[in-house]
Structure 1
């Protein structure tokens, strides 16, 4: 009976929360990276150099970093439902403003403001998941939600390419319509999320009383198990070496990931002569495979209750894929190895983000996740800007691919020394204390 309640509860929670968070994450990432396709024409319009485009694309993350921790502490004060809705609506409005860029200064300024607007979304969603999913099921849930990173490019690449190919409509260029049309869903979804989500299991009227009781009790025991290994105090969390280690690890991962994400359309376009639509379709393929790998690796990590090698091995695969893509001289092989790289990088992401919440609880979870994301957020600036600089001083993208391969390889090495090799605590006991 109790087992049936546990299974039924988690099925309801998954169906209620994961699809909406997936869509929100997808729209978030799409609004963040659609500049990579707009750049195919926008850089020509304003005569941006590779270095300038890389700087402007990456400056987003400086704004993101500066406001990340304050945003997540505000989430603790105002509640996840209200604060996440505020973030979503704000970034939708600012994202649309990118359509009205008129020179390099305005491009950099609006990209910075977009980072400020989006600050706190990623750790906010991850924190929200820690309130609803026990540790043993968290990597799977995170993988399902974060696969939107990859699917956003799968959907956004051909969509953006199609919009770009429209040419001028109503006096606006195709690249301007990319920003406008892809920002509208964010505003609508932000309002919807406010009315649809519940802050805590205790407030979930869509669960029956036994289901609510089981989930509240289970999550309380889960937090107690995490607290026995780590901390629930923000100040202590900020002094934890593993928090800084995880931040550094993801900084290295993100340098490669955001470098590829924000430059792939231009990398693909250089491989061979092709139309904008073809560039969009081929740019989507690595991310489709990465999304599948992300979900499967997260599921397997939960099933085996192991984290370290489910993180390190995919990162090693990602590094080797990037290295191989830099060495070959065939467009087909280069794209194939980029696909291998994204499978490895994608597979690592769901497992990585399940680790901080395994030893941080309460206020420390919100602040600790934000701190990890703040440190790693530098990668979003370093990756695109470094690749722009390298490309500006090289005949092609080979040296940039070497750089990204080295960054991912260093992350793989760091992953092998993580002090938390598996899921803390005992296996999930579906029986609440009150039923004992």
Structure 2
């Protein structure tokens, strides 16, 4: 590995509940407002959990053509719009003749469940709303195959920007977004790319997805008070609230960005992941695998735990997760765990499965940029087993030089990313 190569962030794009662009998203977080509500995209009356954080997203107003909307599932539409915003902020001209070698531009996109909405809708059509066991393929969309293969997300973005470098879809459950950006970082460090369009997108608010999480009682049933249903680390929490959306970062090799005088937002200093090999949905209470990922990422970043100014928690709002990662922070950060601010933006934008890690990293970039730590909304009743500084309800202004962001996913996936304010440091 060529350790002299460094990865920086030069662009951020976001489509999230309550904020379908970067500015609106950040305003929602710093205001401490929640975007959770009763589901509107279908009638949820028969479901145990009837609430979600939906994006008020109009793909045409967001700049997509009718053909792009027809061709692509909602999760790919999120990725396309977020990527457009990120590339625009980066200042990279990816048009033909724009001066960028397209052979050195890569795509790394994460998604846990892919085109679930399109597949479910198409099945209703070809089966005549479920009446026929033998489906009639004559009624299927000609783009049904693209809905079946999650790799369509990477293909669509590669075609959109004319990139010829590696193109990958990462699907590691709820850590997909962190892992996709971590993979993009590794492509740059390894010399496989100079620029990576990296992030994740998800559109899971559909009957089949909600039924899956209803079955294991992982989602909140606080249907009478959706605005306050997502309550990470709070003693009264009863599960997570489904979300949707996407976020994309433009990752760039440091010297490549410096030569074109790019505005460097932050640096990716470390990425690590582990798997607990323990249980499909359960977590060991000691948090050792997450702690190991954190320690590895900090080692790569050449940072002492005391140099972390903010921890962006997974903070799903399930009891086992919140206690698991609280234990992991104590194990990896030592006494500093009690001093560093920790918060979960899922309290405001819900849990968008594979997309949330990328959305959270977008928030981390903005926290470094603006010197503000987002709050944990709805944190009102402390859990004695969760005894850290969870930044209750109101954003906190402070200098943020280094951020640790973690994710935990069904299947035992544990990931950690370290971002830092850019410096003249050379490895």
Tell me the TM-score normalised to structure 2 length.
0.33
Relative CO higher for 1 or 2, CA cutoff 8 Å, sep ≥ 6?
Answer: 1
Greater fraction strand: 2
Structure (1 or 2) with the greater helix fraction: 1
